[in-house]
Chain A
Amino acid sequence: MGGGPPTPVLNQPIRCFIFLLPRWIALKTCLVVDDSRVIRKVARRIIEDMGFEVAEAGDGVEALAWCRAAMPDAILLDWNMPVMNGIEFLDELRHERGGDRAKVVFCTVENDLEHIRQALDRGACEYIMKPFDSDILQSKFMQAGLL
């Protein structure tokens, strides 16, 4: 697990500090929300190369805790996760203060139009169907106006 604010990436205190810095000083921030540690690691590497400071969460509840502590500029969001899934998280996020500011890019194995439409209706900016690579991630972040 990447760790949310209650136990935030303790092995990376400097990164955590940067993530929580006031927005006007810091790099753009991205929260990667996925229950797969491998996916989080791959996505983190690509998104860091795009110039973002990255934090990780393993489910929707952990992600909400991160967002309450410091709303990220971007959220890369899995759909199927334990505890709170991606759509439930998105609904909760929009009720949070500043929750409409974060640009949400879904990143999921769900690859049918019904899921995509549902995500867009709930306020996602972009949608990635797994598997993905760095070109796709970069292209989608560009489409979402994050680059």
Chain B
Amino acid sequence: MKADEVDFVAEVARAGAGLSVERDKLYVIESRLAPVARREGFGSIRDLLLAARHRREGKLMWAVVEAMAGGETSFFRDPAVFARFRDEMLPELARRRGDAPVRVWSAGCGGGQEAYSLAFAVDDASGPSPVRNVDILGSDLSERALEKARSGLYTQFEVQRGLPIRTLVQHFDKQDELWALSARIQAMVRWKRVNLNADFGGLGRFEAIFCRNVLLAMEPAAHHRALQRLARALEPGGYLVLGMEETADGLGDGFTALERGVYRLNPGYSAAA
């Protein structure tokens, strides 16, 4: 790829989703754009970018954004986080909500693994009165990713990354070469396309937001704005769960860090925002 093509990709990704594209990682850019070029019927990445650039075609531009946003995802990434959600957050939030459902948002869920991991955690909760009244929203900026999430179909490779074998046996059936998630677990999650780089105030408020390893792909200003919006989408005292390498420090005293990647929104923050 030529330097001006890389610049074009970086600009499109920044404008579309606030993404920070590392220009020196050409192999990453090419490996993400090559499947898009094939899918859209172009002979090369260069042809794809030429068409996107000169025709200013929204669909192609967005395909480039989606490709650059796509990251790695797996079931139960960092299992201790999901155990904490099941054993500590969920009972506490349910007490706080009374008869109303606990609202949980998996923001930037890719192919749905994180949102379904939350559903498995809810389903797995035990004790005298396990919390079942939970509303889980999974969102991503990519409609393709959401299509996959809605299908509940995963490859053998995907179901082996993070998913305990007993969970596979309990909740999946084999369909040819793919593994199909049960309708019961699928029904626990609703899906919506959301761009974290735009206003998402209409989504309402949540008791917990999981936004893991998403913000770190954004440029600093977009990252900060997204963090502010996420804070506003949380109920006071709600949890923001980030990736293990991410922090909410950018919001000053907005959050209290509970452990690595897990934050609680301080009372009063949303009113001040």
The interface of chain A, by Cβ under 8 A from chain B, is 111-113, 116-117, 120, 126-129, 132, 135-136, 139-140, 142-143
A129 engages B169 (CB within 8 Å): no
Given contacts A112-B174, A116-B169, A120-B165, contact A129 B160 (CB under 8 A): yes
Q: Does B156 contact A (CB under 8 A)?
A: yes
The interface of chain B, by Cβ under 8 A from chain A, is 74, 79, 156-157, 160-162, 164-166, 168-169, 173-174
Which single member of B160, B162, B173 contacts A128 (CB below 8 Å)?
B160
Given contacts A112-B174, A113-B174, contact A120 B166 (CB under 8 A): yes
A126 engages B164 (CB within 8 Å): yes
Chain B contacts for A111, CB-based, 8 A: 156, 174
Q: Count the A-B residue pairs with Cβ separation under 8 angstroms: how many?
A: 34
Minimum CB–CB distance for A77 against chain B, Å: 13
B165 engages A139 (CB within 8 Å): no
Chain B contacts for A120, CB-based, 8 A: 165-166, 169
Which single member of A113, A140, A142 contacts B160 (CB below 8 Å)?
A140
Chain A contacts for B157, CB-based, 8 A: 136
Which chain A residue has the least Cβ–Cβ distance from B160?
A136
A135 engages B161 (CB within 8 Å): yes
B169 engages A113 (CB within 8 Å): yes
Which single member of B74, B161, B165 contacts A116 (CB below 8 Å)?
B165
Smallest CB-CB A-B distances: 5 pairs: A127-B165, A136-B160, A143-B164, A126-B165, A139-B162
Given A120-B169, A139-B161, 17 more A-B residue pairs with CB atoms under 8 Å apart are A111-B156, A113-B169, A113-B173, A113-B174, A116-B165, A116-B168, A117-B169, A126-B164, A127-B165, A129-B160, A136-B157, A136-B160, A136-B161, A140-B160, A142-B79, A143-B79, A143-B164
